[in-house]
Amino acid sequence: MPEGVLLTVAYAGAGFAGWAPQRGQRTVHGVLLEAVGSMRAGVTGLRAASRTDAGVHARAQLIAFDSDGVIGPRGWALGLGSRLPDDVSVRRVSRVEAGFDPRFRSRGKRYAYRILCDPLRDPFLEATHLRVLRALDVDAMAREANYAMGTHDFAAFRSAADHRENTTRTLSRVEVLRHPTDPRRLAIIVEGDGFLHNMVRILAGTLVQIGQGRRARGAIARGLASRSREDLGKTAPAHGLTLEEVYVDDRGADEFPPR
């Protein structure tokens, strides 16, 4: 009897050309599908909650596939752990119904865009933080972030490759937070019911430029009103962005490891 398997997956994005399969490219989908297939032949595709871009990281990406139920969550977790490379890891496994698709079961997602204010490189943070040379005006960034809260037409906050007709999204949290112990570090936390392509990176890039004094305050409000990409800042580099959480009502049964 077929059943669904739900994986919570973490990965460092630097070594991948994104989540989605691409011919001749190393992708998270490709690496994970190879490991799953080595344990149980016949699994031909994986269903992800988010199609992260090249260089973007994830702490809790949700991935589902269907199998025959012979292997349980503990077996999948330990077996995949021994087969996957160092830059991707299965953090949790549960049973769900066959056909479970986390993309359509998601109630929202949380992203973090991390920034390091330091004139010199820090090898422990370089891969996961955008480094800027001088301190940012965090208070100005925090005030500006408030304009993005709520339900808006975010047409200006997307890449040219995004052709979706519906560009209205609701952001329930947009915060600029200082690191509690390291004054060089800050994070832009964004939660919402859905996101356009590059939406968080455009938002982050705009806030960074405001923090640098390189863009006039009120840019986010202007972009929302005009729907013009030109009113906003640069798209922040991918390596500062992490998918932190996907919110779903049902995470299945028989979780391993148990909470």
| Active-site pick, 53, 66, 118, 231 | 53
What is the residue type of 140?
A: A
Residue 255 is given by DSSP the state: E
For the chain, strand residue ranges (E) read: 3-11, 47-48, 57-67, 88-96, 106-117, 130-132, 150-153, 168-178, 185-192, 241-248, 253-256
Please state, in angstroms and as integers, the Cα–Cα distance from residue 211 to each residue in 55, 140, 159, 207, following that order: 24, 6, 22, 6
Is 53 annotated as catalytic?
yes
Residue 221 is given by DSSP the state: H
Q: How many residues does the chain have?
A: 259
- Residues carrying an active site annotation: 53
